[in-house]
Structure 1
Amino acid sequence: MELDTPVLDNHLHLDPEHGKGIEAVKDFARVGGTHLLVVNKPSWLLGVDVEQGADFEAVFETTIKVVTEASEILDGRAWPVLGVHPGLVSKLVDDRGFAPAEARDLMQAGLDAAAEYVADGQALALKSGRPHYEVPDAVWDASNEVLKHALALGADLDCAVQLHTEASDDLTEIAEWAEARGLASHRVVKHYAGGRLAGPTPSVMSDKDRLTEAAERAETAEEPFLIETDFVDDPDRPGAVLGPKTVPRRVRWLREEGWEEAIETAHVETPAEVYGIDTRATLG
């Protein structure tokens, strides 16, 4: 179903073994979706109990394989975003008895492994963050060290970093951490964002209220934004977050509402600025 524009879902997961996998990609494409940024699922949800950085490679390889298959279906293409989910810190500390510093070191090693895939061109960007829920101070501090390590890697690799963090409309401190390490703050992306965000680039969840605010800010203040579903592809949570058809449907709705410039911002201009990708040139 043609929309005459690239349509990018900036953050979703695909699980070819346990979830819909490629069928979700077909659903996305069927209603006009053209491009995907596929983020690896948390390691423990793929049955991987990590002990060292190299253990994350099985998770990354699963994501890269399904991205290759997705690109064969899409009118555009898909890219992998690889990294370590910040919730792993609690799995390690609370469930497996790691000290916070030990958890930090293992998660940073996982990011180092992800960075190797970015360095050799197999992945587009990194994923990191910090817990969006209350944790002890030592765990919070360790998580921030992991996040800062991801930002430093992004600077070294000249790649974007997607972040899973607490809900906030002001993450200027994180943007300052990025700039201090040599990574431009607009290349830091806040996943699951609202329509307004100071600091990083918001990846806005695809509900109409958030998108309306983001579209208004894009067209009046030239503020960049991306759009996502955070589709989790988990058969045990079929109604969790948003489905893979949502972004194309929201693009159609934005067009009906007259937000043409905002569509161009979210699906062409911001992807180019943040990731260095050309969603028009990769169509067809």
Structure 2
Amino acid sequence: MDVDDTPVLDNHMHLDPTEGRNIDAVEDFVSAGGTHLLVLNKPSWHLREAATDEATFEDVFELTIDAAADAREVLPGRAWPVLGVHPGLISRLIDDGYTPAEARDIMQTGLDVAAGYVADGPALAIKSGRPHYDVEEDVWEASNAVMCHAFDLASEVGCAVQLHTEGSEDLTEITEWAQDEGLPPEQVVKHYSGGRLRGPIKSVIADKDELEVAVESDEPFLMETDFIDDPDRPGAVLGPKTVPRRVRWMLDQGWEDAVRRAHVETPARVYGIDTEATLDR
């Protein structure tokens, strides 16, 4: 089996149609064997400003929807937008003078807007989470309330939530919160995950060591680069060719079942997408 014989999905890539490489990055992905993308909106302050109202969130989301549509023209498969609010926004808002409660309400409004795009069709899933750095207790509580609001919305509109959180090998408490809001654990995805994680579905950063752990675990997982499309940091976090190259390496190791798990079975299970039926090489 060769990389040309399978769908290849990068579960978390950013595209910046204003300042970044955008379609050039997608073409790099395709040239290495990539077929499908989940395109995450960059933090609002990277595209416009720290969002404080619906209009700014909508502007950022529309840019991402357009970028995914443009990517679709280049890909042999599909690109789907994943829209939401970066958990670091809470710190930006507090630095600008908002209270944690006010920041929470602004971020929940952004998630309401994102869920509307899922309900109306352009977007596939919601992005949320909590800071991966130390914050005051009231900021932590507000961030958890934002995340639980995302779970509630996702349950209502019937989609998954991609999470940006602290690094951990056990986030079962988070999936329990999701279940309390009516969202099954298999629709909770930990972005930038290691190969070993309890609770959410792993979206494993495309590092060979972490992928080997994920393969051996025999559990559902996805693969990602977290490519940030920042001209000042080319190739960060990982370059757009990395996931297809890692798939090629996995196939060389004889891990065909794991490749299918990551690029066909888990995307279907988590997002309800068919990466085979949407592939036209």
Structure 1 distance, partners of 2:8, 2:52, is 38
**Aligned residue number for residue 53 of structure 1:** 54
Q: Matches of 1:51 and 1:74 in 2, distance apart?
A: 34
CA shift for structure 1 position 54: 3.0
> How high is the TM-score relative to the length of structure 1?
0.97
Q: 1:138 to 1:231 in 2, by over 3 A?
A: same
Summarize deviations over 1:126-156 as a string: whole Å, max 9, x none.
Answer: 0000000000001000000000000000100
Query: Does 2:214 match 1:240?
Result: no
Aligned residue in 1 for 2:207: 207
**What amino acid maps onto 1:181 in structure 2?**
E
RMSD of aligned alpha carbons: 1.0
CA contact (8 A) 1:48 1:59 kept: no
Please state whether the residue corresponding to 2:277 is helix, strand or coil: coil
Which whole-Å deviations, capped at 9, do the CAs of 1:10-36 have from their partners, x for residues lacking one?
001000110100000000001110000
> Which amino acid in structure 2 is aligned with residue 211 of structure 1?
L
How far 1:239 sits from its partner (Å)?
4.2
**Is the contact between residue 10 and residue 203 of structure 1 (CA under 8 Å) also seen in structure 2?**
yes
Residue of structure 2 equivalent to 1:93: 94
- TM-score when scaled to structure 2? 0.98
Answer whether contact 2:229 2:235 (CA < 8 A) is retained: no
Contact preservation (8 Å) 1:3, 1:252: no
- Structure 1 residue 2 displacement after superposition: 5.4
Structure 2 residue matching 1:226: 3-state secondary structure: strand
Supply the distance in 2 between the matched residues of 1:135 and 1:15 (Cα, whole angstroms).
29
Please say if residues 50 and 92 of structure 2, whose CA atoms lie closer than 8 Å, have aligned partners that are also in contact.
no
Shift of 1:51: 2.3
CA deviation string 1:238-263 (max 9, x = no partner)? 24210000000000000001111000
Runs of 5+ unmatched residues, structure 1: none
Corresponding residue of 2:151? 151
1:241 maps to a residue whose letter is: V
Asked whether the equivalents of residues 50 and 56 of structure 1 are also in contact (C-alpha less than 8 Å), the reply is yes
Contact 2:48 2:60 in 1 (8 A): no
| Matched residue type, 1:50 | A
Q: Does residue 166 in structure 1 map to residue 162 in structure 2?
A: no
Post-superposition CA distance 1:186-242 (Å, at most 9, x none): 110000000011110010000000000001112xxxx10000000000011124210
Partner of residue 178, structure 2: 178
Aligned 8 A contact 1:53 1:107 in 2? no
Q: State how 1:52-131 maps to structure 2 within 5 Å.
A: 52-94=53-95, 96-131=96-131
Consecutive aligned runs of 4 or more in structure 1 exceeding 6 Å deviation: none
1:254–1:260 Cα contact (<8 Å) kept: yes
**Displacement, 1:88?**
0.4
- Give the counterpart letter for 2:205 in structure 1: M
Deviates more, 1:41-50 or 1:260-269: 41-50
The one-letter amino acid of 1:182's match is G
User: Structure 2: which 5+ runs fail to align?
Assistant: none
> 1: distance between equivalents of 2:234 and 2:26?
16
Does the alignment pair 1:250 with 2:246? yes
Amino acid at match of 1:45: H
Instruction: Tell me the distance in 1 between the aligned counterparts of 2:245 and 2:203.
Output: 17
Which letter maps to 1:212?
E
Of the candidates 247, 260, 263, which is equivalent to residue 259 of structure 2?
Answer: 263
* Amino-acid identity (%): 66
Deviation (angstroms), 1:180: 1.0
Residue-pair matches, total: 279
Q: Is the 8 A contact 1:54 1:113 kept in 2?
A: no
